[in-house]
Amino acid sequence: MIEFDKVTHSYGGGELLSDITLRLTKGSFHFLTGPSGAGKTTFLKLCYGELFASSGSVRVGGMPLRDLDRDSIARIRRTIGVVHQDCQFLDHLPLDENIALPMTVAGFEDMRHSDDLKDLMSWVGLSKQASALPPQLSGGERQRAALARAVMMDPDVILADEPTGNIDWEMSMRLLQLLVELNRMGKTIVIATHDLNLIRTAKAQVAARVLRIKDRRVQLAGADL
């Protein structure tokens, strides 16, 4: 699905990530961990083309991102759902329009009244908040809404950057369950987090691999987690 081939990413004269070679295969579940500033967000951004490798190559579906034009990058992003810690909603639009946004920008017909959208909002437990504006939602609701938006286009890959960073444990578990369900549907999941309890809980439910960023390199974490 996503391949890193000797990828190095530099910023401001220093290397943030160095010589990374790995493959995120279809249907896999990965945690990406490491201390703050280790490069977790950078790694995710390299996956969906918000950043580009300084050397080496990142390929999505076999296509090297750096060789693609801006429109092609936009199309690639429709196959990758991204959940950010701060969610990035359009605050002036109601929640249902925010969740349907990937379909809207892709030129699909109005999804606001579609059964798919209703099912999706019901799945993340936000049916009653359809017409609420994002600032009116709690942290947990916003994260679930962000997840719903990420899966709206039925992407192959879901990247989540500290999705449980701003929510309580109960809500974190609920979000994790949703991600595990998606993985069981065949989606590739990558979650960047420094929450080791979340990783331990997830490993009890799903065959997750844990990648750790240490000294600018990505390593497979051992039994210490």
Partner 1 sequence: MKFISRLADILPGDTRADRVVPPSGFTVGLTVFTAGAMAFLAVFALALSLASGRLADRWSDALARTATIRISAPEGQMQAQTDAVMAVLVTTPGIADARVLTVEEQRVLLLPWFGPDLPVEELPLPQLIELIEDDTGFDGDSLRLRLAGEAPGAVLDDHTRWRRPLVAAAGRLRLLGWISIVLIGATTAAMITLSANAALAANERVIRTLRLVGARDLYIARAFVRRFTGRAIQGAVIGTALGVLAVALLPSDQSAGGFLTGLGFQGWTWLWPLGIPVLAALVAYGATRAAALRVLRGYT
- Using CB under 8 A as the criterion, which residues of the chain lie in contact with partner 1 when the complex forms? 49-52, 70-71, 74-78, 82, 84, 88-90, 92-93, 97, 101-102, 104-107, 110, 149, 153
Using the structure block, give the residue that is written with the tokens 């992407």: 155
Instruction: CB nearer to partner 1: give 101 or 173.
Output: 101
What residues have CB less than 8 Å from 186, skipping those under 6 apart?
Answer: 26, 27
Q: Could you tell me the smallest distance in angstroms from the CB atom of residue 113 to partner 1? A: 13
Q: Could you tell me the smallest distance in angstroms from the CB atom of residue 194 to partner 1? A: 22
Instruction: CB nearer to partner 1: give 34 or 102.
Output: 102
Instruction: CB nearer to partner 1: give 82 or 182.
Output: 82
Instruction: CB nearer to partner 1: give 71 or 215.
Output: 71
Instruction: CB nearer to partner 1: give 52 or 123.
Output: 52
Q: Could you tell me the smallest distance in angstroms from the CB atom of residue 104 to partner 1? A: 5
DSSP reduced 3-state for 48: helix
Q: Could you tell me the smallest distance in angstroms from the CB atom of residue 105 to partner 1? A: 4
Q: Could you tell me the smallest distance in angstroms from the CB atom of residue 53 to partner 1? A: 13
Q: In whole angstroms, what is the distance from residue 173 CA to residue 175 CA?
A: 5
Q: In whole angstroms, what is the distance from residue 2 CA to residue 25 CA?
A: 7
Q: Which of 153, 51, 32, 138 is nearest to 87 (CA)?
A: 138
Token digits for 62? 């076999």
8 Å CB contact between 36 and 185: no
